[in-house]
Structure 1
Amino acid sequence: MVVTRFAPSPTGPLHLGHAYAAIVAHDMARAAGGRFLLRMEDIDRQRSRGGWDQACLDDLAWLGLTWDGLLYQSTRLPAYQAALDRLEAMGLLYGCTCTRGDIKAALSAPQGGILPSEGPDGLVYPGTCRGKPVTSGALRLDLTRAVNRAPHLEFTETGTRPGLHRIDPLQMLSEVGDVVLARRDMGTSYHLSVVVDDAFQGVTHVTRGEDLFEATQIHVLLQRLMGLSSPIWHHHALIRDDEGRRLAKRDDARALMTYRAEGATPADIRRMVGLG
């Protein structure tokens, strides 16, 4: 059975980009007679306030979408800790006390002013704290050890870059780095929680924006390390503004609640995002 999900962060209003992502996931599942699930990625408790979760649900219901389950990540902290304990037992985690400024300085200083490299987890971490105990700060994945335990990785993509993709471990080491798996104020991170929850919810097809394509290699690696099955991936195009920028939650002019207040219909929204 095809199982898809839409996983917004309830930190602001849904916009046209969210509508597109939700409709794609919903329609894929319904066309196959499968299940469409919702997941509120509310691990950032400081920003996930103000009733935005209910506002998201109201917008999705107004669009005519129906779902077969709803999960809040804030209820899943024990599952994330169990995953971290497993990775720690494998010798794959270490503590990190570096700030973003520390990382940028470490990357820039020896390179004569060359700008630091960016990966799917932000600045590619240079391994400054590698070897520190897990009791120190955030928890990072020792990527060198990780890829040595799972050297042959691949995934199937059906969206913007269809086909079988083989992951190059050396390229991953240079372009991804030691990613954060748990932040001090959250007890987890996006990369860890999304992998654990996709497995828990039985997601078979992950649909999401193409901006997350490069993060897929991280998720496939974590799935292999933890013995989880890897879904089929479907990355889709992003909805952008008139200047080509990806829509953000701060862009209230394109918020679904704004269109609703102006009298738009769900069919109008589908046409606006090219799915009408």
Structure 2
Amino acid sequence: MNLLIQGIAWLFDGANWPDTAIPGLGSQLAGQLGITGASVVLAAVVAIPLGVRIGHTGRGRLAAILASNAARALPTLGLFSAVVLLLTLEPDWLSPVIPLALLGIPPLLAGVYAGIESVDRQTVDAARAMGMTEWQIITRVELPLGAPLVIGGLRATVLQVVATATLASFYGFTTIGNTVLLGPSSNLYVPMIGGSLLVTALALALDGVFALLQRLSAPRGVSRGSRSRTTTARGRPVTTTPTGTPV
């Protein structure tokens, strides 16, 4: 408990935030957020169009599930090492972004196609009968109604990436991992506790933001409760957890 208190005190010590001989907590936090943001954007560029196509057409769902499960089984450090050490990428910040994006694609892909699939088939058929094109059905019907699940998948991706981005410091990139990894290597456990608390606080803050967005995205007349729920989507049951991610 004494070590935890010291870690909190160290975290709130203003002298640890500016850059000195090593990057301060301010630069480490900015690096963590920058790598996280770039990784999530790259994951979204791949996962959202693919998830929309799978959810709208119903084709390729099994292949997507198998690919997502395979990606989740990849060892994080091994993936980092393969990309950072074996590939020469320019600009160099792509080295941690690509493996993090690969790790973030599965939950986002699952959230997107489950969100599209969760829209009642009769609603889609009614929109088609009114003369809407397939693109209009996707953008005006399926995405608005499936938005809570889509944002739930994005929420899960952000949480996974922001925590894993700490490992980028192993390969010379500035993240909060610079402080977290200082403990085992230098027997300075108070900074390690402080850095761990900062990563936790950052993850909780981002989770709170996306939880609010998820709640606000539910269309009027659709339940915004936090209890798990099961809906029927095009003949398939879609069960969601309190975070809105499909299971």
* TM superposition score category, shorter chain reference: under 0.3
TM-score after normalising by structure 1: 0.24
TM-score after normalising by structure 2: 0.26
Indicate the structure with greater helix content.
2
